[in-house]
Amino acid sequence: MSRASDRAYEMIRDMILSGDLPSGAKIGEEALAEHCGVSRTPIREALSRLEAEFLIRRSDTQRSFVADWSLEDVEETFELRGLLESRAARRAAKRISWSQLARIKTHHAAIGEAIDAEMPDTQQFVEHNDLFHGVILEASASAQLTTMLARIIERPIVHRTARNYSFDDLKRSHRQHGELIAAFEQHDPAWAEAVMISHIRRAFHAYANAHIDQRIPDVSQAAE
Amino acid sequence: MSRASDRAYEMIRDMILSGDLPSGAKIGEEALAEHCGVSRTPIREALSRLEAEFLIRRSDTQRSFVADWSLEDVEETFELRGLLESRAARRAAKRISWSQLARIKTHHAAIGEAIDAEMPDTQQFVEHNDLFHGVILEASASAQLTTMLARIIERPIVHRTARNYSFDDLKRSHRQHGELIAAFEQHDPAWAEAVMISHIRRAFHAYANAHIDQRIPDVSQAAE
DNA sequence: TGACAGCCTAATGTATACAATGCCGATCGG
DNA sequence: CCGATCGGCATTGTATACATTAGGCTGTCA
């Protein structure tokens, strides 16, 4: 990630995720270029990627804006993610290797440690949660599924989900991971798929409950 | 969108689909720029889009090659498409309006005419087949599903498809469309979803049978 | 006073020059 | 003769200047 366009991509993405760039804000290439300390060329490349990931949207005349997410959009995202990730789990159950299973158990254990502590270690939870799901994607052996999911997971909602988890949510998530492992050990596609659907569904409701009567992405009360 | 990069995109895509650029061929930006009569800037943009649509693959050092599609890759594509399009059908069944239903019936009738003729009118078949599926996507009311599917389905691929369809294939496709309409009229999500899965699945096997003991020549042979 | 038109500004699209980086071959040493 | 390393060459990454186009502002006319 040493290329300028990659750095620009991460900077802009972080600005959106952190709320520095509020929903609906207009994005000028020139301004971003100056802010990121690069020229417009890598900025344009970064914007393309962000558009593909639905973090920004473009007007009919190619002006860029930070995407604003309605609750319906959020539910759509979770629906799509559940669809793709459950299919990945199904494929993974058929193909997962012994070493992949071993790795997934390692991450499972790490997550267990993270939430067994007095104060749950969210950092460690998120990190190994990503790795856990990453192994499933790898085992699914579908480059296309992997690519499509990668574009969804970068989304703000997915990113913020873990923060909204209660302690019970974290434990339930961990238990579902355990059940996924059992399904993988049995090489049972239907089981793995069902658990994954449930897993993602739960994540959605955790999110929805946390934002029950709020307008969704207004993290940024302080507009510049 | 911009004119030069769009033209470049279409030109390169057509070269790939027509086989002028064979699978695995190396793609140089400079060479393409000269061939398309534009500079490298729009070429790079076109290559990004083509990569997102899996028509181009990039090496670890960003060299571009025409993607080579194994039979497994093709099946993956059909699997993904079936997954997304059946979900679109399910959503559409719940939401489709009377006027959308009317439009879909119009296209259904047009397809019927196209294949009832002495010589099937593939042009008309493909056109209204696109519109038929387009209405379903519209009725699904999911921008994200729509966008993702747009990246999977390349129109020229669909167009090429009709040529590989036997007369019976065309008639079966038409009958399945009729069943989809029935499911929509009943607003029966499960029914619509099931028919769509079957619809896409059958298309895959039509493809597989047509290429049963051939090395996959290129993407343009993919069937719907 | 309101609406339309034309210019002006600002933003995006494209071209080109330059920088950095990977690839390949040639040459030298074992 | 084989392998490794170094250097030139080809290709991609970035910057910048220029072209084009959208959108706003203002002035004028009804």
CATH label of the domain that carries residue A38 = 1.10.10.10
pLDDT tens-digit map of B109-159: 999 999 987 888 888 998 999 999 999 999 999 999 999 998 887 665 655
Mean pLDDT (whole number) for A122-151 = 92
Which nucleotide has the shortest C1'-to-CA distance from A31?
C11
Question: Is the separation of the CB atoms in A154 and A53 below 8 Å?
Answer: yes
pLDDT for the residue B162: 67
Whether A117 and A62 share a structural domain: no
Whether B126 and B178 share a structural domain: yes
Whether A55 and A14 share a structural domain: yes
Amino acid in position B124 = Q
Whether A202 and A142 share a structural domain: yes
| Distance from the A152 Cα atom to the nearest Cα atom in chain B, whole angstroms | 10
Whether B90 and B46 share a structural domain: no
Whether A118 and A198 share a structural domain: yes
> Which of the listed residues B66, B101, B116 is the one where a domain comes to its end?
B66
pLDDT tens-digit map of B155-186: 656 556 667 788 888 999 999 999 999 999 99
Q: What share of chain A is helix, strand, coil (3-state, %, to 5)?
A: 70, 5, 25
Q: How far apart (Å, rounded) are the C-alpha atoms in residues A8 and B176?
A: 48
Asked if the Cβ–Cβ distance from A145 to B2 is below 8 Å, we say no
| Distance from the B48 Cα atom to the nearest Cα atom in chain A, whole angstroms | 8
Domain count for chain A:
2
Q: Which of B44, B52, B77 shows the shortest C-beta gap to A52?
A: B52
Question: Is the separation of the CB atoms in A78 and A204 below 8 Å?
Answer: yes
> Which of the listed residues B38, B66, B94 is the one where a domain comes to its end?
B66
Whether A163 and A82 share a structural domain: yes
pLDDT for the residue A1: 53
Asked if the Cβ–Cβ distance from A80 to B147 is below 8 Å, we say no
Whether B151 and B202 share a structural domain: yes
Residues 6+ apart with CB under 8 A from B146: B88, B137, B138, B140
What is the domain extent for residue B118? 71-221
> Which of the listed residues A15, A37, A66 is the one where a domain comes to its end?
A66
Tokens of B35: 């061939």
The nucleotides of chain C lying under 7 Å from a protein CB are 10-17, 21-23
Name the residues in B64-103 having a C-beta closer than 7 Å to nucleic acid strand D: 64
**A77 versus A2: which is more confidently predicted?**
A77
pLDDT for the residue B19: 85
Residue A189 has a CB neighbour count (10 Å cut-off) of 18
Whether B138 and B41 share a structural domain: no
B50 alpha carbon, distance to own chain's centre: 14
**A174 versus B23: which is more confidently predicted?**
A174
Amino acid in position B20 = D
Task: Give the distance, in angstroms, between residue A25 CA and nucleotide C12 C1'.
Answer: 17
pLDDT tens-digit map of B18-58: 889 998 999 999 999 999 999 999 999 999 999 999 999 99
pLDDT for the residue B153: 76
Mean pLDDT (whole number) for B197-224 = 68
Substitution target from A41, A83, A90, A147 for chain B, most B beta carbons within 10 A: A83
Asked if the Cβ–Cβ distance from B145 to A80 is below 8 Å, we say yes
Whether A190 and A117 share a structural domain: yes
**Angle at alpha carbon of residue B198, lines to B192 and B202, rounded to 5°:** 150
Whether B33 and B84 share a structural domain: no
Whether A40 and A143 share a structural domain: no
Residue B186 has a CB neighbour count (10 Å cut-off) of 11
Asked if the Cβ–Cβ distance from A80 to B144 is below 8 Å, we say yes
